[in-house]
Structure 1
């Protein structure tokens, strides 16, 4: 009898196992979805590698005893788990269909621990292949009918293949940690995870990324649309049922907001990378004749890019290559050349993050013969894909329609949806900004005394001043009523605020009767219906920049700007203040 088996036997006899629980959290808001129950050996002198312990148990037919002990320990501790959260229990694929296992998870058994089947997710761990597939799928179907959750673990490794997912139709799949490791540097992993994430959404299967160990991995997974995650970066397993820290939850919200903004960068214009498709690529030393023959056999290839060490170095359309082989001497001149010798190095390439309205401008500036060629998209200096002119024009048209739909009907300025996107983009980005709120003081009293039409004229007056005073492509939005917003891509906005106030003060007098201006106030009814004197309209201006302070999330920014707006409104006459 080997030493490992003796060690296992002592562990089982003395039940020297302690459960620990690692949170599985939403990668949208950081809230805990459930906890995976893991196991640790509680006696140091019996210390044993957990994976070795399970392998030894399988080798010596002790898997049933070991897994049963692990589950019981986890369930005993589950009384302190907050209701509404899921308890993930690891189950060997060849044990779940055992009649003894089925009898062990009765309604009465769970009630002893204050649980019901909705609280339990069986996490199918395939340390070995499924020995009886029919019995396995029948068992899975049985537990799902009893409202247990079924998760397939380690998808992308070992035996956890697509056939298991297709036939078992689990409620959740967990991506193997080896797929997650270094995902931000691996295009193939990203494409695979994105495909599985999209599949999960379409098939109504929750996708969980296991083994998240760095913030870069977390950020990338969120950008790929993965809904749930767990790993040491978020939280280590703990004997207690602990949620992740507020700092980590805030980081998830921040990355989620940035991901949203990357998809809708600069208002509603998406980035080039989100319109791109992979396209066809060839290596520079490949023979032109072979590629010519490939295109002859595949009419769908209308263009291709030549790449070297991942970077785009040449581009060619199908028509251009056919022309090279045409004519009296075209074939004999070019058939033995490498494709690098024939492709054009004068092609338009843009960065993944460039908004499509900017891409469109660059595309339309090309020479006529290149005007309708696709645009090469690069990311971090490497080839990513291509964007066709058709897709580009359709996206730009949609963006322009969306802009019109979400603009204020009176002033024509962008409305709340676009404003919110701009605020998110700037607050959670790294570039300098100053976000300024403009509020007209005593606007309601003017509106009531002079009519709604006159009130509209005052709103259009301020909108006109905000636009005409802008000097650096400032974003100007109309929140609604007498509230406006200006977002500057720089910190020092004091001069802009002063100019707006000066112009408003000088021009607003034209909207009042002469006697009201001379008197310095109007007489109107207040919100309680009582007659009151109201000063001539002025501006309260509150601005926040990231010159000295940055914000981890939009909530903290909103709290600061709300306080500053209240402070500015308490001042007499026009007043501005910028943090």
Structure 2
């Protein structure tokens, strides 16, 4: 049977297979709608959609085929488009067809009691639009009836930017070629960020097509792309299946990690959170294979060498090709293992090493090695790679984020970020402890020694808490400065009593340095109280009120703060440094 005969048989017997791929919110893993995709009969010449529609175009039967696809999609999806959207592919040339404009789609909607507002005409960019003026006039007619417009395959060619500018679509679907390996390509990331900014200014929503890996998904979420679809999320299916619980958890964790980055500083952010999970090869790999690898992965400037899951070396592209370019380089190295040329002592860091420490180590390397990749391990096994550029970009971003809402004295996150952090930890519903720090008798000290010395004490306290959080290894911890002599820390796991005891020990040992020899000897100061009478005050002490969700859950920041206030009053009954855990 010829392709034309097969197509005519499909049209006559309505022999299409309609499958649906979900479009997923990347912020909460909810399915917002489905794209309807058409396939020819299994095993036939026109099973693949590209062959099906190419044959229809060749024999001028696109209208008939698209109408059949549209009718089949609406019939199968009639129950789900009550509260979800249905994306229907439409060729731009069909938009101009008088038969398309006669209201056939509206008749189908009325037949299935469907709402036009939940139907999205997905205009593919794979076909050039010749007359934008009439094309946009027709689109305006449909949007006025409640339909929405999506531009498909944005970035795939033709006059993509002009299409966006002329049509002002409700949705912009990014071509999968821009999404492929976006986690490893900074140029693609920059393009997506520009498109995201464009979508914000034009009130459009971006959908990333063709997501195939967790790395791509993670990068898209961190850029801010709101919606996505692809095989990693779910393959096209004949029914409307829910997402797997594992995928929902993955999306949730990436979003939680993104939220935590708001509060990170270069000294608290684990370097593994920005590592790329690049392909690695064993040390026995021959030189010609390494050449093929670099030719196939033009965006990679380095090749991690890993044996039995452990990194043993690094082959930088520039150095490798420089050796090949020597007089006998090709002859000597092409058929020898790359172990003969690799760097046997690259910079290797653990996943949890703070960004700032890795930056210092990277920049202290020899000049010839300063831009070499950094290898990242997790549990002693190879995890991924970093570049100096990635380190500098993330450090700059974190510093800018911190500067926006930081306390001007200590540089710690201020009240806006503190409230965000508390809301997030309450929402996560995982074990946590919130530590409220208060300096006892700080006002009399400040009045006696002056603001300058008072500021020094506050900076000392901030640095002390930060140092202990890092030294005692509290991953994902948060430290903020509420104001004055009040600080707050949030930790998700770790030994809270040990932390409190160590902080009090260090504080009590070092705080006498901020007093005169006379006051140190006396064990306190004489200062006026709030009623104007002189009173004796002991040396500054540290009160720590600890609120956890071990025994009860808090639904709001306000409820948690009220409990903390009661606990702080209890702590202050003791004039010495102490801690109370609720």
Residues 412 and 373 of structure 1: CA distance in aligned 2, closer, same or farther (over 3 Å): closer
Residues 418 and 570 of structure 1: CA distance in aligned 2, closer, same or farther (over 3 Å): closer
> Distance between the aligned counterparts of 1:320 and 1:217, measured in 2?
29
Q: Is residue 36–residue 86 contact of structure 2 (8 Å, CA) maintained in 1?
A: no
The answer to whether 1:494 aligns with 2:494 is: no
Partner of 1:66: 68
Partner of 2:518: none
Structure 1 position 166, deviation (Å): 5.1
Q: How does 1:121-132 map to 2 (within 5 A)?
A: 121-124=120-123
Partner of 2:573: 573
Structure 1 position 227, deviation (Å): 2.2
Q: Is residue 175–residue 209 contact of structure 1 (8 Å, CA) maintained in 2?
A: yes
Q: How does 1:137-152 map to 2 (within 5 A)?
A: 139=135, 142-143=138-139, 147=143, 149-152=148-151
Partner of 1:255: 254
Q: How does 1:253-292 map to 2 (within 5 A)?
A: 254-261=253-260, 265-267=264-266, 271=271, 285-286=286-287
Structure 1 position 436, deviation (Å): 1.3
> Distance between the aligned counterparts of 2:303 and 2:244, measured in 1?
47
Partner of 2:33: 35
Residues 483 and 382 of structure 1: CA distance in aligned 2, closer, same or farther (over 3 Å): closer
Question: C-alpha offsets along residues 331-372 of structure 1, whole Å, 9 cap, x if unaligned?
Answer: 46x563217444543333456875441222323554x56564
Structure 1 position 484, deviation (Å): 0.4
Residues 545 and 463 of structure 1: CA distance in aligned 2, closer, same or farther (over 3 Å): farther
Q: How does 1:66-465 map to 2 (within 5 A)?
A: 66-67=68-69, 69=71, 81=83, 88-104=87-103, 121-124=120-123, 134=130, 139=135, 142-143=138-139, 147=143, 149-153=148-152, 155=153, 161-163=156-158, 165=160, 168-169=163-164, 171=169, 172-174=171-173, 187=181, 191=185, 194=189, 197-198=192-193, 200-201=195-196, 203-204=198-199, 206-209=205-208, 219=218, 221-223=220-222, 225-229=224-228, 252=251, 254-261=253-260, 265-267=264-266, 271=271, 285-286=286-287, 305=302, 313-315=313-315, 331=327, 336-338=331-333, 340=338, 341-350=340-349, 355-366=354-365, 368=366, 370=368, 372-377=370-375, 381=382, 384=385, 386-387=387-388, 407-411=406-410, 415-416=414-415, 434-439=433-438, 461=457, 464=460
Q: How does 1:528-567 map to 2 (within 5 A)?
A: 541-543=544-546, 558=557, 561-562=560-561, 564-567=563-566
Question: C-alpha offsets along residues 500-527 of structure 1, whole Å, 9 cap, x if unaligned?
Answer: 679689989845648x6xxxxx649xxx
Residues 92 and 106 of structure 1: CA distance in aligned 2, closer, same or farther (over 3 Å): closer
> Distance between the aligned counterparts of 1:371 and 1:214, measured in 2?
31
Structure 1 position 541, deviation (Å): 3.4
Structure 2 residues not aligned, in runs of 5+: 472-477, 516-522, 533-538
Residues 138 and 258 of structure 1: CA distance in aligned 2, closer, same or farther (over 3 Å): farther
Question: If the length of structure 1 is used for normalisation, what is the TM-score?
Answer: 0.58
Partner of 1:473: 470
> Distance between the aligned counterparts of 2:36 and 2:116, measured in 1?
19
> Distance between the aligned counterparts of 1:338 and 1:39, measured in 2?
50
Structure 1 position 228, deviation (Å): 0.7
SS at match of 2:196: helix
Residues 427 and 457 of structure 1: CA distance in aligned 2, closer, same or farther (over 3 Å): farther
Partner of 1:298: none
SS at match of 2:332: coil
> Distance between the aligned counterparts of 2:195 and 2:353, measured in 1?
29
Structure 1 position 488, deviation (Å): 6.0
**C-alpha RMSD over aligned residues:** 6.9
Residues 304 and 238 of structure 1: CA distance in aligned 2, closer, same or farther (over 3 Å): closer
> Distance between the aligned counterparts of 1:394 and 1:224, measured in 2?
14
> Distance between the aligned counterparts of 2:446 and 2:363, measured in 1?
49
Structure 1 position 64, deviation (Å): 5.6
> Distance between the aligned counterparts of 2:62 and 2:324, measured in 1?
69
